[in-house]
Amino acid sequence: MSLAIKSIKSLVPLLDRVLVQRIKAEAKTTGGIFLPESSVKELNEAKVLAVGPGALDREGKRLAMSVKAGDKVLIPTFGGTKITVAEEDFSIFRDHELLAKISE
């Protein structure tokens, strides 16, 4: 999915959606040797850039979101909507699809 917007900061997720960006695996070994791109594994860790206001329950109240902007999260291998802004890749997930928060 391609967008014409200049900055990802223009995107404000709706309902219980969460905008994330995958964290890139380091392209060098712990010993400092750079790895060829093809041997870099795609990680399931992502940084939360923005969150929606929450889904509506049956009485029209917002359900609390599990994460907030700045959180690091574990995302599932499948699902989510991939978007590209200014040649960078991002994903949108529903709050309940995120598996875990990563504390550091």
Residues that bind a copy of itself (CB under 8 A): 1-5, 10-15, 17, 19, 23, 25-26, 41, 43-45, 52, 56-61, 63-64, 66-67, 73-74, 76-77, 81, 83, 92, 96, 98-104
Compute the least distance from the CB of residue 26 to a copy of itself, in Å: 7
Considering beta carbons, is residue 33 or 64 the nearer one to a copy of itself? 64
Task: Choose between 30 and 36: whose C-beta lies nearer to a copy of itself.
Answer: 30
Contacts 24+ apart (CB under 8 A), 52-58: 52/12, 52/13, 52/14, 52/15, 52/16, 52/17, 52/18, 52/95, 53/14, 53/15, 54/15, 54/16, 54/95, 55/15, 55/16, 55/95, 56/15
Residue 38 C-beta: closest distance to a copy of itself, Å: 15
